[in-house]
């Protein structure tokens, strides 16, 4: 996924006397990068930067990069080549244009970015973006800055809090990072090398940020982490709290109506978190729980440290606690050594779980990961054929789940205008996009609607009178 993310802020938040500059942030990849881009925008606001949706009028262009997908670095260098030409043209007119690379590709490539692309002024990693304003000041004085160390200090303590105007401009839903990094070392994954070891934010930081979001009109928060359910921190009672405890506490914040979290690891799905799904009305009945494969042999080669049977048993426990929960997952096909029999076991697991939504990809090597050195790589044409079969099954299950929603009355959080006059778009409890004709409602309302139809990527609904969502 690649999105152009403009970080809203209020010009009134700029410090007195600071020169106004414009920043354009292009965000690649996951929700955590979207959150990071927003926080970089907050940090830059204190330096006089305001957001722009037009790259051509920006004084600073930041690429917040992701290293998960294939050829991620190549795509970044291609984008930088285009920006080089833009910078040359701007400089020829006597105008400044600064270019920065942030995120996981910045962390992985470091000095190589400056070597390959002289137009880049700043390279900054995901653990040091709180130092971005200082890095830009140094770059403006003639330095070319690379800051990809794993910061000793807590970057969240050094980031300025977003103002109400900035939060309101972002909408009624928000991401909130509670955990970063990964200690699992799956053999296909670069995250431990680009994001570092698992680190949990302190409880008070999270609660304060969540309260500010709710006070500014946010109705739904999605907690983020590479392994979000690995979050641990000391609670006010002196014991170690897990993600389930955190969710119980967040559900008490006035105005905060909905909670979600992603991405989870099966090994960190404990009883307290399952109980939260059972007990908390605010915790939406949707769980993204990646399994990656259905073959124990491939799971072991991936270093997932769970079996297919253990994963299925976990799903049973979750559904026993919350029968209406919708399951989502991630799958990789064509991992080195995967046989036809291994792949058939993945299809059997998918049939057993019956996913409401899932993401699936062909395996591609990541330099520096153990998977890159494994023997018996699967031919490309075999990976393509297997991915087509898997996606066909997953899309069938997704369509069947959508059809099962028709006729249900559900609570809908209205998030943005639709294409038609009077139409609004919201998210169902199961994270589906829903279109509704709601002329008497407004963005931020949560209204009961009846699902009346399905489309390729969304549902259609009508407002209800006197009915209560199930």
Minimal CA–CA distance to 50: which of 140, 166, 141, 137?
166
Q: What is the mean pLDDT of residues 152-167?
A: 75
Does 405 show up as a binding residue in the annotation? no
In CATH terms, 2-147 corresponds, of 3.40.30.10, 3.40.50.300, 3.10.20.30, 3.40.50.12160, to 3.40.50.12160
Rounded to whole angstroms, how far apart are CA atoms 271 and 447?
Answer: 32
Structural Rg of the chain based on CA atoms: 23
The single residue listed with the structure tokens 């995967």 is 338
In CATH terms, 409-463 corresponds, of 3.40.50.300, 1.10.287.110, 2.40.30.10, 2.40.50.140, to 2.40.50.140
Residue 161 has what pLDDT? Answer: 75
Interval 322-333: pLDDT, tens:
999 999 999 999
pLDDT interval class at 396 (50, 70, 90): very high
Residue 31 has what pLDDT? Answer: 86
Q: What is the mean pLDDT of residues 25-32?
A: 88
Listed range (151-165, 216-230, 255-269) with the worst mean pLDDT: 151-165
Residue 1 has what pLDDT? Answer: 34
Residue 128 has what pLDDT? Answer: 87
pTM (2 d.p.): 0.87
Residue 412 has what pLDDT? Answer: 96
| Residue spans per domain, the chain | 2-147, 171-284, 286-405, 409-463
Interval 88-101: pLDDT, tens:
999 999 889 999 99
Interval 232-262: pLDDT, tens:
999 999 999 999 999 999 999 999 999 999 9
- pLDDT score of 17 more than 90: no
Q: What is the mean pLDDT of residues 16-31?
A: 80
In the chain, % of residues over pLDDT 70: 94
CATH topology of domain 286-405: Transcription Regulator spoIIAA (3.30.750)
CATH topology of domain 171-284: Transcription Regulator spoIIAA (3.30.750)
pLDDT interval class at 153 (50, 70, 90): low
- CATH topology agreement for domains 171-284 and 409-463: no
Residue 117 has what pLDDT? Answer: 94
Q: What is the mean pLDDT of residues 54-71?
A: 87
Does 66 show up as a binding residue in the annotation? yes
pLDDT interval class at 432 (50, 70, 90): very high
Minimal CA–CA distance to 144: which of 104, 117, 125?
117
Q: What is the mean pLDDT of residues 61-75?
A: 83
Q: Which two tokens stand for residue 462?
A: 């009508």
The answer to whether residues 180 and 226 touch, using CB atoms and an 8 Å cutoff, is: yes
The answer to whether residues 68 and 290 touch, using CB atoms and an 8 Å cutoff, is: no
pLDDT interval class at 14 (50, 70, 90): very low
Q: What is the mean pLDDT of residues 63-71?
A: 80
């Amino acid at each position: 996924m690649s999105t152009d993310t403009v970080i809203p802020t209020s010009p009134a938040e700029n410090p007195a006397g600071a020169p106004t500059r414009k920043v354009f942030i292009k965000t690649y990849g996951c929700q955590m990068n979207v959150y990071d881009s927003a926080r970089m925008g907050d940090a830059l606001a204190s330096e006089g930067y305001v957001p722009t949706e037009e790259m051509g009028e920006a004084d600073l262009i930041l690429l917040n990069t992701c290293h998960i997908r294939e050829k991620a670095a190549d795509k970044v260098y291609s984008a930088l080549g285009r920006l080089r030409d833009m910078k040359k043209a701007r400089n020829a007119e006597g105008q400044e244009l600064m270019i920065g690379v942030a995120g996981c590709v910045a962390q992985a490539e470091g000095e190589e970015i400056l070597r390959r692309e002289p137009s880049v002024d700043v390279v900054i990693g995901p653990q040091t973006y709180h130092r971005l304003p200082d890095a830009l000041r140094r770059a403006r004085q003639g330095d070319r800055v690379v800051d990809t160390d794993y910061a000793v200090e807590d970057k969240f303590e050094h980031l300025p809090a977003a103002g109400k105007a900035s939060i309101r401009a972002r909408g009624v839903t928000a991401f909130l990072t509670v955990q970063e990094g990964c200690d699992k070392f799956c053999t296909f994954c670069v995250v431990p090398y680009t994001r570092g070891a698992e680190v949990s934010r302190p409880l008070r930081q999270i609660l304060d940020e969540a309260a500010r979001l709710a006070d500014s009109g946010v109705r739904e928060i999605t907690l983020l982490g590479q392994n979000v359910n690995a979050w641990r921190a000391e609670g006010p009672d002196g014991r170690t709290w897990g993600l389930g405890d955190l969710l119980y506490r967040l559900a008490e914040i006035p105005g905060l109506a909905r909670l979600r979290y992603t991405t989870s690891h099966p090994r960190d799905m404990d009883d307290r978190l399952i109980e939260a799904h059972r007990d908390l009305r605010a915790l939406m009945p949707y769980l993204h729980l990646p399994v990656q494969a259905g073959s124990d042999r491939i799971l072991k080669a991936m270093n997932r440290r769970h079996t297919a049977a253990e994963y299925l048993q976990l799903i049973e426990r979750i559904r026993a606690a919350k029968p209406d929960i919708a399951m989502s997952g991630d799958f990789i096909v064509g991992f080195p050594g995967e046989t036809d029999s291994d792949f058939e076991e993945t299809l059997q697991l998918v049939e057993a779980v019956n996913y409401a939504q899932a993401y699936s990809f062909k395996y591609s090597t990541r330099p520096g990961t153990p998977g890159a050195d494994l023997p018996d790589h699967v031919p490309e044409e075999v990976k393509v054929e297997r991915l087509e079969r898997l996606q066909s099954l997953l899309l069938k299950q997704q369509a069947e789940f959508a059809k099962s929603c028709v006729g249900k009355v559900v609570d809908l959080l209205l998030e943005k205008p639709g294409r038609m006059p009077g139409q609004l778009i919201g998210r169902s409890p199961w994270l589906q996009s829903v279109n509704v004709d709601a002329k008497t409602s407004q963005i931020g309302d949560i209204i009961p609607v009846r699902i009346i139809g399905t489309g390729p990527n969304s549902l259609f609904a009508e407002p209800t009178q006197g009915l209560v969502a199930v």
